[in-house]
Chain A
Amino acid sequence: MNIIVLLKQVPDTETQIKIAPDGKSIVTDDIKWIMNPYDEFGVEEALRIKEKFGGEVTVVGLGPKRVTESIRTALAMGADKGILITDDALEGSDSLAVAKAITAAVKDLDYDLIFTGQRGIDDDMGVVGASVAELLGIPNISLGIKVEISEDQKTVTVNRPVEGQTLVIESSLPALITAQKGLNEPRYASLPGIMKAKRKPLEEKSLADLGLDASEFGTEARKVKILELTPPPERAAGKIIEGETPQEKAAELARLLHEEAKVL
Chain B
Amino acid sequence: MAEGVWVIAEERDGEFRKITYEVVSEGRRLADALGQSVTAVVLGNGMKDKAADLAQYGADKVLVADDARLSPYTTDAYVAVISQLVKNGDPAVLLIGGSVQGKDLAARLSANLGVGMAQDCTGFAAEDGNLVIIRPIYAGKAYAKVTFENSWPQMATSRPNVLSINEPDASRSAEVVDAEFSLDDAALKTKVVDVAKDESGKIDLTEADKIVSGGRGMKGPENYEILEKLADLIGGTVGASRSAVDAGWRPHSDQVGQTGKVVSPNLYIACGISGAIQHLAGMSTSKVIVAINKDPDAPIFQKADYGVVADLFDVVPALTEEIKKYL
Contact = CB atoms under 8 A, between A and B. Distances in A.
Interface string A18-59: 010000001000000000011000000000000000000000
Contacts, number: 273
B114 interface: yes
B236 to A, nearest CB: 10
Interface in B304-326: 304-311, 314-315, 318-319, 321-323, 325-326
A224 B296 CA distance: 43
Given A167-B72, A257-B290, A16 B141 contact: yes
A235 B284 contact: yes
Interface residues of A, number: 85
Interface string A126-137: 110111111100
A149 to B, nearest CB: 15
Nearest to A168: B194
A19 B142 contact: yes
Contacts of A223: 115-116, 148-151
Contacts of B147: 224-225, 227
A182 B111 contact: no
A94 B321 CA distance: 51
Q: How extensive is the interface on chain B, given as a class? A: 35 or more
A241 B210 CA distance: 20
A157 B76 CA distance: 16
Contacts of B148: 223-225
Helix, strand, loop or mixed for chain A's interface? mixed
Contact of A170 (B112, B117, B119, B190): B190
Interface of A: 11, 13-17, 19, 26, 37-38, 94-96, 99, 121-127, 129-135, 138-143, 145, 157, 160-172, 175, 180-182, 222-233, 235-236, 238-241, 246-247, 249-251, 253-258, 261, 263-264
Given A222-B149, A249-B318, 6 more contacts: A161-B100, A163-B203, A171-B189, A228-B144, A232-B140, A238-B305
